[in-house]
Amino acid sequence: MPSPDPYAPVESLKGIGPATAARLAGAGIVRVTDLLLLLPTRYECVRPAASLAAVTGREGLRAIDVTVRKVVRRWLRRRGRSMVVAELEDAGGGAGRAVWFNQRWVADRLEPGSRVRLTGTVREGKGGVPELLNPRIGPVDGPVEAAVRPVYPSVAGFPAGRVRRMVEAALETLPGLPDPLPDSVRRGEGLPGLAETLEALHRPLWEGDEAAFRLTAGTTSWQRRLAFDTMLAMTGAAARRRAARSRMTAPACVPAGTGTSGLEQFAPFPLTGAQRRALEEIVAGLAGPAPMARLLQGDVGSGKTVVAALAALAAIRSGFQVAFMAPTEILASQHAVSLGRYLDAAGVTLRLLTGSVSGRERDAVLSGLAGGAVDLVVGTHALVQEGVGFARLGLAIVDEQHRFGVLQRRALWSKGDSPHLLVMTATPIPRSLALTLYGDLDLSVIDELPPGRRPVRTFVRDDAARERVLTFLERELAEGGKAFIVFPRIGDDGDGNGAGGMALEAAAPALRRRFARFGVAAVHGRMPAEDRAAALDAFRAGSVRLLLATTVVEVGVDVPDATVMVIESAERFGLGQLHQLRGRVGRGGGRRAWCILVAGGGGGRGSLERLEALASCRDGFEVAERDLELRGAGDFDGVRQWGAGAGRHGSLLRYGSLLPRVVAASRRLAGSGELEAVLAALARLHGGECGSDSGTAPD
Ligand code: ADP
Ligand code: MG
C-alpha cells in the first residue's frame, strides 16, 4: 500500500466522505495537512480516582469506575430543560451521584446494576454527596490510567470529539510529510522536525504529572518550531527583496571632498552624537555599490529632518537629484522652508511640489526635475503622480513613512533607476517588530534628543475637570505660552450619534469667545490648504496663541515655542499617536511644556490605564512597549499604522526574541539560493501566499 499522502484531499482519510469534506472545505480545511495544522486549543489531564469521596473539591478531571444503582430522568421547570440523575456506588461502597443536563439519551446508556467508567469534574453536591457533573461515559476497560488528551475547537459545526477523530486519522500521514526547513537551519537553531512537532502537539506525552505538563505545553520547542516557520514565511519576502537589491547597481554617491564633517557645516546647529552616527551610517550606505534601503527611527523631535537633509546634500553633491516626500502639505511646506534656509548656502536648488502647486508653477517644477535643474524636490504624494519624472534621481526620502502605503513608497522609488531609499519614522516600534515588518531595511536609530529639551509634563484629567484645564490654559497663555487643543473629529457628521468623542466645530465657538484676547485659529483637513497654512503661520508668528486642531498637526508641525497640548477625548487616540501629538510642544527648550489628556469617558475599560501609562513614559519606545502590553498586538498602534495584519503578528510577538534569528536565517538562505524553495514549501504547507510578493522595490 502506498504511504498516505499528507497533501491529498481530506476525503482520502477513512471516515471522511464527500459531505463531510464539503463542510470542512467551508472552514478552509481541504487537504490532510490542513487537519494536521489544526492544533488543539488546550489539553485535558485526566487522573484516576480511587473513591468518590476522595476527590471531592479537587480540581481537574477525574476518571472513576462506578456501579450504577438507580437512574432518574427529570424535566426541569424551565421549558425544554431536562436532567438525568444517576445514583452511584464506588468500589469501596462509597455513594455518589452523577448529573447530566439536557442529555436525556444518557439514561439509555446507564443500566442499573451495570459498571461504567465516568470522566468528569467532581464537586460536593446536595447533602455533601460527591457529584459528577456531565461526565463522559465509557466502558470499564482495564485499570483507570492517567491520560492527557488534546481538546480541539469545534470546526464547521463538527463537535470537538469528531474533530479529534479526524485529526487522528490525518496523523497517519505524518511519516510522509516533508519538512520545509532544511536540516542546516534546524540543526543550527536546535529546532525539532515538523512531523515530530505535530506528533508531539497532537499526541502529547504524559508522564502523569499534570503540573509539569502544563508548565511545558505552552512554551515547548514544538511551539517555537511552528513560530519559526511562520516568521520565516513573513520575513522571507523581505529577505528576497534585500537579496535582489544587493544585485542592483546604485547611483554611487561619493561627494567629492566632503566627509560627514563637510556636510555638517551646513547644519544650523551642531549635530547630536546620535544624529552624527545616523548620518555616518547613511552616507556610508549611499556610497555603497548597491542601493541602500534604510529606516531612520527617532523619537518625536529627535531631529531626523536635518540628518535627512544632509544625506540629501551628499547625493546632490555627487550629481544626483533627491525627492523628499512628506505626508501632509503642512509638513511638506514646512520642510521646504527649513531645508531651504540652510541648503541654499550649499548651492542647492530646491522646489516644492504639492497638490496646491498648479498651472505654470507646476510645469516649471516638472521641467526642472525632468531637465535636472532642480536638485531637491520636497512634496507630498503629488511627487508620485504620473508626469513627474527625474533626470537622475539618486535618493528618495520618505518622512513619517507609516503614513504612506507600500505602493506610494514603491512608486517614488520607481521614479529613479534603483535609487537609494531613506524612510523615516517617529512611530516607535519595538525593534523585534520592526525587523519582521521591515526585515529588508537597514536600521539607524537616533536615540538622543537635542540639548535643552525639557520633558513634557503629562497629566490625565477627566471630563469633570475640563473647567480647571481651561483655567490653567488661560494662565499659561497669559504668561506667554502657546497652546494646541486637539480634537478627535472635525464635526458632528460622520458617525451621526456623536460616539466619536468631542468635535472641534462643536467646541470652537465657546473657545473662540473665551480665548479671543490671545488669538484663536483652527486647522483641520477640510479647510483649503492656504487657510491652513495661514493659520499655522499666525500661530508660529504669535498673533494666534491658541490653535484648535485635528490630528493634521500630529506629524511634523514644528512650532518651537508651543508649550501646551490639550487633547480632548484622548482615549480615542492610540498611545503612539498621543505621543506624537505630545511631541509638538516643548521643542524650544524655553518654558516648561505640558500635555493634558482629557478623558471623555469613551473607550471603555482600560483606557484610563493606557493614558496613565503615557503620562508615566517619556520615551517613545517605552510607550510602544507599554501599548503592546496593554492592548495586545492586535490593536497595537504601531502595527496598525504599519499596515500589517495584526492578528498573525500578535501571537508571534510572544516569540519576539526569535525574530533576529529568523531574519538572520532567511538572509542566509537567500544568500545560499535556498530561500525560494523553502518559501515555496512553507506556502504549500500553510496553503498561503508566503513570501509570494515578488517585487524587488523596498517596502
Ligand atoms: P523629528 O525627528 O521629529 O522630525 P525635527 O527634525 O523636526 O524632529 O527636529 C525637531 C526640532 O529640533 C527642530 O526644531 C530642529 O530644528 C531641532 N533640532 C534638531 N537637531 C538639533 C540639534 N542637534 N540641536 C538643536 N536643535 C536641533
Ligand atoms: Mg519629522
Residue 149 burial (10 A CB sphere; 0-12, 13-18, 19+): middle
Q: How far apart are CA 201 and CA 206, in angstroms?
A: 12
> Is the pLDDT reported for residue 48 higher than 90?
no
Give residue 309 CA to ligand 1 midpoint distance, Å: 12
Domain boundaries, the chain: 10-41+155-217, 50-143, 266-446, 457-617
AA letter at 483? A
User: CA angle, 339 as apex, 316 and 317 as ends, to 5°?
Assistant: 15
Give the model's pLDDT for residue 603: 59
Tens of pLDDT along 97-143? 999 988 888 888 899 999 999 988 888 888 888 888 888 888 888 88
Do residues 355 and 329 lie in contact, with contact meaning Cβ atoms separated by under 8 Å? yes
AA letter at 613? A
Question: What number is the average pLDDT over the span 672-692?
Answer: 76
- Proportion of the chain in helix, strand, coil states, percent, rounded to 5: 45, 20, 35
Give the model's pLDDT for residue 498: 43
> Is the pLDDT reported for residue 296 higher than 50?
yes
Q: Hey, how many other C-beta atoms are within 10 angstroms of the C-beta on 205?
A: 9
> Is the pLDDT reported for residue 163 higher than 50?
yes
Residue 333 burial (10 A CB sphere; 0-12, 13-18, 19+): buried
Q: Hey, how many other C-beta atoms are within 10 angstroms of the C-beta on 259?
A: 11
Question: What number is the average pLDDT over the span 432-452?
Answer: 77
Give the model's pLDDT for residue 521: 95
Give the model's pLDDT for residue 374: 97
Question: What number is the average pLDDT over the span 613-633?
Answer: 73
For cell 424551565, the residue is 78
Give the model's pLDDT for residue 272: 95
201 vs 419, higher pLDDT: 419
Instruction: Tally the C-alpha atoms within 13 A of residue 274's C-alpha that lie toward its C-beta.
Output: 16
The percent of residues above 70 in pLDDT, for the chain, comes to 84
Ligand 2 is an ion; residues with CB less than 5 A from it: 556
Give the DSSP H or E segment for 82. strand 82-90
Give the model's pLDDT for residue 421: 95
Give the model's pLDDT for residue 542: 93
Separation in Å, CA 375 to CA 93, 215, 353, 386: 96, 62, 13, 19
User: CA angle, 611 as apex, 606 and 616 as ends, to 5°?
Assistant: 120
Which CATH number does the domain 50-143 belong to among 3.40.50.300, 2.70.98.10, 1.10.1740.10, 2.40.50.140?
A: 2.40.50.140
Query: What CATH code would you report for 266-446?
Result: 3.40.50.300
Same fold, 266-446 and 457-617: yes
Do residues 149 and 46 lie in contact, with contact meaning Cβ atoms separated by under 8 Å? yes
Which of the residue ranges 210-214, 335-339, 530-534 would you say has the lowest mean pLDDT?
Answer: 210-214
Do residues 73 and 83 lie in contact, with contact meaning Cβ atoms separated by under 8 Å? yes
3-class DSSP assignment, residue 577: helix
Ligand 1 atom closest to Cα of 272?
Answer: 23
Give the model's pLDDT for residue 323: 98
Give residue 280 CA to ligand 2 midpoint distance, Å: 19
Q: Which of 577, 521, 587, 580 is nearest to 549 (CA)?
A: 521
Indicate if ligand 1 lies below 6 Å from the C-beta of 303. Answer: yes
Q: How far apart are the first and last CA of the chain?
A: 49
Q: Which of 442, 406, 411 is nearest to 642 (CA)?
A: 406
3-class DSSP assignment, residue 210: helix
Question: What number is the average pLDDT over the span 599-623?
Answer: 78
Beta-carbon contacts of residue 686 (< 8 Å; ≥ 6 apart): 37, 229, 230, 233
Ligand 1 atom closest to Cα of 587?
Answer: 11
Indicate if ligand 1 lies below 6 Å from the C-beta of 298. Answer: yes
Give the model's pLDDT for residue 598: 92
Indicate if ligand 1 lies below 6 Å from the C-beta of 334. Answer: no
Indicate if ligand 1 lies below 6 Å from the C-beta of 269. Answer: yes
Q: How far apart are CA 401 and CA 405, in angstroms?
A: 8
Do residues 79 and 149 lie in contact, with contact meaning Cβ atoms separated by under 8 Å? no
pTM: 0.66
Which CATH number does the domain 457-617 belong to among 3.30.420.40, 3.40.30.10, 3.40.50.300, 2.60.40.10?
A: 3.40.50.300
Give the residue whose CA is nearest to atom 10 of ligand 1: 301
> Is the pLDDT reported for residue 308 higher than 90?
yes
Confidence of residue 194 (pLDDT cuts 50, 70, 90): very high
Give the model's pLDDT for residue 31: 93
Question: What number is the average pLDDT over the span 312-323?
Answer: 95
Give the residue whose CA is nearest to atom 23 of ligand 1: 271
588 vs 519, higher pLDDT: 519
Give the DSSP H or E segment for 36. helix 32-36
Give the DSSP H or E segment for 231. helix 221-246
Q: How far apart are CA 5 and CA 33, in angstroms?
A: 9
Dig out the grid coordinates for 143 from the structure: 485499570
Give the DSSP H or E segment for 141. none
> Is the pLDDT reported for residue 646 higher than 50?
no
Strand-strand pairing, 82-90 and 61-75 = antiparallel
Beta-carbon contacts of residue 545 (< 8 Å; ≥ 6 apart): 477, 481, 482, 483, 515, 518, 519, 520, 539
Separation in Å, CA 654 to CA 41, 632, 649, 662: 17, 10, 9, 14
Indicate if ligand 1 lies below 6 Å from the C-beta of 396. Answer: no
Tens of pLDDT along 49-64? 878 876 666 567 888 9
Tens of pLDDT along 239-277? 788 888 888 998 888 866 566 778 999 999 999 999 999
Tens of pLDDT along 371-413? 999 999 999 999 999 899 999 999 999 998 777 777 888 899 9
Question: What number is the average pLDDT over the span 176-180?
Answer: 93
Q: Which of 572, 584, 495 is nearest to 539 (CA)?
A: 584
DSSP string for residues in 584-648 = TSS-SSSS--EEEEEE-S-S-TTHHHHHHHHHH--SHHHHHHHHHHHH-GGG-HHHHHTT--HHH
Give residue 593 CA to ligand 1 midpoint distance, Å: 16
Give the model's pLDDT for residue 638: 35
Confidence of residue 430 (pLDDT cuts 50, 70, 90): low
Do residues 69 and 110 lie in contact, with contact meaning Cβ atoms separated by under 8 Å? no
Confidence of residue 431 (pLDDT cuts 50, 70, 90): low
Dig out the grid coordinates for 4 from the structure: 498516505
Q: How far apart are CA 126 and CA 130, in angstroms?
A: 8
670 vs 518, higher pLDDT: 518
Give exposure, 429-452, as e/b (b: 16+ Cβ within 10 Å). Answer: bbebbbbbbbbbbeebbbbebbee
Give residue 243 CA to ligand 1 midpoint distance, Å: 34
AA letter at 233? A
Q: Hey, how many other C-beta atoms are within 10 angstroms of the C-beta on 637?
A: 24
692 vs 549, higher pLDDT: 549
From 260, 265, 299, 302, mutation site for ligand 1 pocket: most ligand atoms within 8 A of C-beta: 302
Give the model's pLDDT for residue 71: 93
